[in-house]
Structure 1
Amino acid sequence: MPPIIRLIGRSGSGKTTLLTEVVRLLLADGKRVAVFKHAHHRVDLDRKGKDSFRYASAGAVSVTVVSADKVATFEAPAKEPGLLDLAKRLGENVDLILAEGFHGVATPYLLLLGPGDPSPARDEPGEMIGVIHTDAHAGGAYERSDPAGVARGIAGWLASRREDDVELDRVLREAEAFHGHLCPGQVLGVRLALVGVKAVGIENPTRSKKLITWVEIDRCGADAVQTVTGCKPGKRTLKLVDYGKLAATFLNTETGVAVRVSARADSRDRAAEMYPGLERHAAQMAAYRSLPDEDLFTVHAVEVELGEYDRPGKPGARIVCAICGEEVNDHRHVDGDDGPMCKACAGGAYYRVTGRDSEVRLPW
């Protein structure tokens, strides 16, 4: 997803006029720019009598009109799409998205202030990268009458984006695709895993064959850890030890270095303090993206034993349970008086067989 900068300010402050001039300047500088504008009133671009209107009236979910110089798509969504949902549709075809409005979305933003406007609110999520004043004597970083200065500032921000920020955006997109949605647990889990792999010296975790990860929860964070590390249960490189904690241990099998990274219990409180005006999940999403690692996680050097039968590779041993007759791999059995037993038959089953005639005969 391309980087997004919002321009926010009161209605009638000149946001559209300013952005129009800034877009022209950025395009002249070689930037590919897309623009989203949030409207608080009904948008009626497709009018009665047009062919596209007739198709939509007939019930088409989406109508696209194509000509030699323009493509227009009309939709009537069940609910208003959010800024991030719209941005995903663009893919990587643009360098920057400028968005007018869209309060409450955790992206960088510019604030346009007019004479008498209050000082910047502290509950707007995202990084405020500049204030634009309509009053030339207000001493702001930018002036409304200087769109070239605003365009230079945006270009400078694009050039100065940290490699870590770009990497976080990329991995969050992958985590969202794998998990099905992006939520606070995913953001926190991605950040946690990035800290862990860096701490044990794994530079390209998804390509590495020397990383083993233990994850201590079976919720959203587990999928995030799997996305970042590339570790998989079926490869025996991702192991679930469900303690109900958003924590994971990362082992570099080449060096033997291991760390356990756990989410701090006060992270939700920090999010609420940072963004008191936002809905709870929105505040957490914004805070978990922006807080430094040390404010979100505790990291400990640990020792972890990876036994002979716990390593990736082919099964090291196979036995047949003396009671149920099922095969058990890798010494996951218990020795009993009548021979080896699987853990289920030894009394550790998570299920209960319903009776002697419980076997289901498949009808196909």
Structure 2
Amino acid sequence: MNIFGVVGWKNAGKTGLMERLVTEICARGHSVSTVKHAHHSFDVDHPGKDSFRHRNAGAREVLLASGNRFALMHELRDRPEPSLAELLEKLAPVDLVLIEGYKRDTHPKVEAHRAVTGNPLIAPDDPTIKAIASDTSLRTDRPVFDLDDTRAIADFILAEVGL
């Protein structure tokens, strides 16, 4: 499975870039799935709903299905967070999986960077970062793209993964 990540510090533009890349790459006829790492507890369910009640009662997995979509919620119940590799095994085959976050994993990545955040680049200490998408010019040994040049960033990613 082809995978490529988007990493960066908070407010660097990762999610906007991910959204634009999915739109661009799908428009080119490729199938895309995404994985997003959350650094905090999150819930896609709501108290009082049947699926929430099932989980609250102790179900390890709850699959919620309709004519439009299905969602599988899996409670870890004090087990360790699954690795990225374990999570990728749960996805149906697609042309490309774009991963937001997981900056410490070893898959290839593009770093989103906004000067206004004042954060340093991650790239100098991370050889898995193959390019940088920034709102400012940078001096680096990696290719640098304008953060808003989605087409060029998509071209780069697709070339890197061989699509």
2:114–2:134 contact (8 Å) kept in structure 1:
yes
> In the alignment, which residue of structure 2 is the partner of 1:5?
4
Report how far residue 73 of structure 1 moved: 0.9
**Gaps in structure 1 of 5+ consecutive residues:** 161-364
Normalised to the residue count of structure 2, the TM-score between the two structures is: 0.87
- Matched letter for residue 103 of structure 1: K
In 1: Cα distance, 2:71 partner to 2:29 partner: 24
Task: Describe the superposition over 1:5-27 as per-residue Cα deviations: whole angstroms up to 9, x where unpaired.
Answer: 11111101111011101101100
Which residue number in structure 1 is paired with residue 114 of structure 2?
A: 114
Partner deviation per Cα, 1:176-201 (whole Å, 9 max, x = no partner): xxxxxxxxxxxxxxxxxxxxxxxxxx
1:174-189 to structure 2, matched below 5 A, reads none
Shift in alpha-carbon separation, 1:121–1:145, aligned structure 2, 3 A: closer
Q: For 1:82, give the aligned amino acid.
A: S
Q: Distance in 1 between matches of 2:16 and 2:84?
A: 21
1:351 — aligned with what? none
- Letter of the aligned partner of 1:23 in structure 2? V
Q: For each residue in 1:132-190, what CA deviation from the matched residue of structure 2 results, as whole angstroms up to 9, or x when unmatched?
A: 1122x447521111111111111111227xxxxxxxxxxxxxxxxxxxxxxxxxxxxxx
Structure 2 counterpart of 1:146, which letter?
D
Structure 1 counterpart of 2:25, one-letter code: L
Give the drift of 1:67: 0.7
Match of 1:82 in 2: 83
The structure with higher relative contact order (CA 8 Å, sep 6+) is 2
3-state SS in 2 of match to 1:118: coil
For the 8 Å contact 2:15–2:100, the answer to whether it is kept is: yes
Alignment of 1:328-339 (within 5 A): none
Q: Does 1:103 align with 2:103?
A: yes
Q: 1:40, CA displacement in angstroms?
A: 1.2
Q: How does 1:6-21 map to 2 (within 5 A)?
A: 6-21=5-20
Alpha-carbon displacement from aligned partner over 1:272-319 (angstroms, at most 9, x marks no partner): xxxxxxxxxxxxxxxxxxxxxxxxxxxxxxxxxxxxxxxxxxxxxxxx
Question: Whose helix fraction is larger, Structure 1's or Structure 2's?
Answer: 1
Paired residues of 2:13 and 2:114 also in contact (CA < 8 A): no
| TM-score relative to the length of structure 1 | 0.41
The Cα of 1:50 is off from its aligned counterpart by 0.6
1:17 partner letter: G
Helix, strand or coil at the partner of 2:133: strand
Please state how far the C-alpha of 1:118 moved relative to its aligned partner.
2.5
Aligned residue pairs total: 156
Cα distance in 2, alignment partners of residues 75 and 130 from structure 1: 34
Paired residue secondary structure (1:63): strand
In 2, the alpha carbon distance for the partners of 1:128 and 1:48 equals 40
1:331 matched to which residue of 2? none
Deviation of 1:39 (Å): 0.9
Per the alignment, residue 153 of structure 1 pairs with 156
**CA distance, structure 2, for counterparts of residue 25 and residue 104 of structure 1:** 26
* Aligned-residue RMSD, C-alpha: 1.8
Alpha-carbon separation, structure 1, partners of 2:119 and 2:146: 15
Q: Deviations over 1:75-111 (max 9, x none)?
A: 11122112111101125x1111111111211111111
3-state SS of the aligned residue for 1:59? coil
Alignment partner, residue 43 of structure 2? 44
Change (3 A) 1:44 1:27: same
